[in-house]
Amino acid sequence: MSYREEKCVSGCGLTGLIHVNGERESGATVIESIAVMRERGNGLGGGFAGYGIYPDMADRFAFHLMYDNETAREQTEQFLAHGFDVVLAEPIPTRPNKCVESPPLLWRYFVTPSAETLEHMTVSEEDYVVEAVMRINSSIEGAFVTSSAKNMGAFKGVGFAEDIGDFFRLDEYEGYIWTGHARFPTNTPGWWGGAHPFTLLDWSIVHNGEISSYGINKRYLEMFGYTCTLLTDTEVVAYLLDLLVRRHGLSIRTACTALAPPFWKDIDAMPDGEQEAMRALRRVYASAALNGPFALLFAYKNGLVGFNDRIKLRPLMAAKRGDTYYMASEECAIRAIAPDVETVWAPRAGDPVIVELDKGLVTDDECEPAVERVQSCS
């Protein structure tokens, strides 16, 4: 049966892995994992993010771009040349795949802010890159930034995930973190720029579910200079993480709690000190909270995180084998690539699984108190 014209409220598949010792692994592994969950997609979206894939250019920002036409490419390259030193510009390597039709123009650029830009820069290097991404996506018609981090890249498009992975030749890349996504669009269009992952700097997000708070999240982000242009609700999550963690200085766990906060009745039952911190978090970041059913995997240069909405309306599993951690929508996607895992568990609703390089699983004991950070941002 074809589901292309149907709404599937539980579709989309997620998978991810991290080698906490920094070992790099072929992208073929994440393709094999996501392919097991083919029925969670419908050919309208698939994508991947890999970290550590550009070791020879690790000190350059790798901009992945998709263009509707040559005019968009020319305008974007003129924009980049104005504020960046472009070390290398080339088409992203692909191979023919009969199931991947009508791809846009796909290019990548390895750049650093130019010496003149750095001399007069009044913001951080990361803020400058964020401004450039927002400018390209909102001002250059037909140009969309797929990813913009150092030593990381996102590869996505319209098609089944395994076909997208083959199209982008991911078997030729190696990374220490991989995430994959099989998309089943529910309320938003299936198009190349709207496939997952969504990224900003080294944040990358894959998502199963629906962000029903998209409107208020979008307006909240606009107050801080973020512009949502990719026609998919998940885009706000990448920008919210950048805002809460990089700009406001929250810990990963505190940011996750702000995005999926406890219910007020549960806060009322907490000890006084913890209750005060949680009330402050909910009040300050009320417009950042994500409503709706969701399971999320997000990665950044130092880790991989998985978490659910507050009542776990979407599935998520986690597992460990040696120095490697796995997360996926279904256990079968993990066992397909790691049949001998030592531990498998289902994370609790709203409780993030945080795995960091060199540390492994981050426990509650390693988390900073939230109240001081939150009050400094209010």
Local structure of residue 289 (DSSP, 8 states): P
Per the annotation, the verdict on 377 as an active-site residue is no
Q: Distance between CA atoms of 240 and 301, rounded to whole angstroms?
A: 17
C-alpha distances out from residue 19 to 25, 51, 320, 361, Å: 8, 11, 10, 11
Longest Cα–Cα distance in the chain: 61
Q: Of 8, 12, 367, 377, which residue is the catalytic one?
A: 12
Taking each helix axis as running N to C, give the angle between helix 70-83 and helix 125-139, from 0 to 180 degrees, rounded to the nearest 10.
160
DSSP result, 121-155: --S-HHHHHHHHHHHHHHHSTTEEEEEEEETEEEE
State the Cα–Cα distance between residues 300 and 266, nearest whole angstrom: 30
CA 4 to chain centre: 25
Which residues belong to the active site? 12
